[in-house]
Chain A
């Protein structure tokens, strides 16, 4: 059973640029959530995808968008990067449909915006 993987590990971007982060779910999981963890804070929910549809969203602007593919892998896209977007971005997978609350996290992508 493979765990959740994310790429890239680290990324440096300039303010105003766009970035795409990638996530592969744990095998057997059909639901993916994305979280942003700023320094000294707990992870904050961005959005969740279930069966390729957005299934809920946290308090993040529309420039944060996502995709889920038929193989349940996922992307997080952030447009018009701001300095405050510098954070660890975590992807978590679970078997959705309301049957499980436990989410399993990847190692994260550290994004630095300069």
Chain B
């Protein structure tokens, strides 16, 4: 049973437009959410995060929105650039739930392609 779900395996967007990547979760114990970006042959790179006590966090072109009642979060990239083309992973943490402080549970990822 997947606790973190990214239902879109891929997304294609035109340069300059908005990219919206979605993520759903099932475990109400999750209290922190993160987005990672992964290029081929590299490890995931931390992008942006949000605590469950907030509903929005913004960092430059990247904004994460959290809807706790719907157990849904999204990552908005505005404007999208060709260099943003990568696989994006949504991850969640339940603090010390399950005996491990801050271990991350990942979705399967969404491959974003930004076309010039």
A residues contacting B by CB (< 8 A) are: 4, 31, 33, 35, 40-45, 47-48, 50, 55-58, 90, 92, 94, 96-98, 100-108
Shortest B39–chain A CB gap in Å is: 10
What is the distance, in angstroms, from B95's C-beta to the closest C-beta of chain A?
Answer: 7
Q: Which residues of B contact A90 (CB under 8 A)?
A: 43-44
Q: Which candidate, B12-20, B63-71, B97-105, is the interface stretch facing chain A?
A: B97-105
Asked if B43 and A101 sit within 8 Å, CB to CB, the answer is no
* A50 contacts across to B, CB distance below 8 A: 101
Q: Give the docked Cα–Cα distance between A58 and B32 (Å).
A: 18
Which chain B residues have a beta carbon within 8 Å of chain A's beta carbons? 4, 6, 32, 34, 36, 41-46, 49, 89, 91, 93, 95-96, 98-109
Whether A42 and B107, one on each chain, are in contact in the complex, defined by CB atoms closer than 8 angstroms, is yes
What are 13 A-B pairs at a CB distance below 8 A?
A42-B89, A42-B91, A42-B106, A42-B107, A42-B109, A43-B44, A43-B106, A45-B104, A56-B101, A57-B100, A90-B43, A98-B95, A107-B42
The CA of A108 and the CA of B36, in the complex, are separated in Å by 15
CB pair B46 A104 closer than 8 Å: yes
